Homo-oligomer: A and B are copies of this chain.
Amino acid sequence: MSATFEPRDPDWEARCLASFEKQPICKTLGIELTGVEPGFCEMRIPFRADLTQQHGFFHAGMVSMLADNAGGYAAYSLMPAGAEVLAVEFKINLMAPAKGDVMVARARVVKSGRTLTVCQIEVAMIDGGVEKDCALMQQTTICLLPT
């Protein structure tokens, strides 16, 4: 289920970057936007010991936060000018501990509707240069247009 998408807004890239800059939580936690294409987004976060659970790995909440955030911008890249994006719901399977140096989330749009967008997001940990699958998310976002 892979597809290529035509952006509805020629300024999609600048719009995505500007929106990302306005998220205080990304600066607070060290989340980086490392790639955005029409229907695709990659985000990364370097390991921080103060964001871990009781076993010293990234907390599951951090995994879902990175995945949800990447999915939101993959969806947003295809929305028209003036739109806002909101996550409606998501589901994540946590398949391995989030152990390593950098966490990376890659989000791909699988359905781009007028109102709703469905994304699939893969999360991996880069540990000593090796990338390992960590989690898989399905996410639904909604496009809000000014009325």
Contact = CB atoms under 8 A, between A and B. Distances in A.
**Do most interface residues of chain A lie in helix, strand or loop, or is the interface mixed?**
mixed
Given A91-B91, A95-B110, A116-B88, A52 B25 contact: yes
Interface in A129-147: 133, 136, 138, 140, 142
So how many copies of this chain end up in the complex?
A: 4
Contacts of A93: 88-89, 110-111, 118, 138, 140
B19 A54 contact: yes
Interface of A: 1, 19, 22-25, 27-28, 49-55, 59-62, 64-66, 68-69, 84, 86-96, 110-111, 113, 115-116, 118, 120, 122, 133, 136, 138, 140, 142
Contacts of A84: 55
Contacts of A62: 25, 61, 65
A85 to B, nearest CB: 9
B140 A89 contact: yes
A63 to B, nearest CB: 9
A122 B89 CA distance: 14
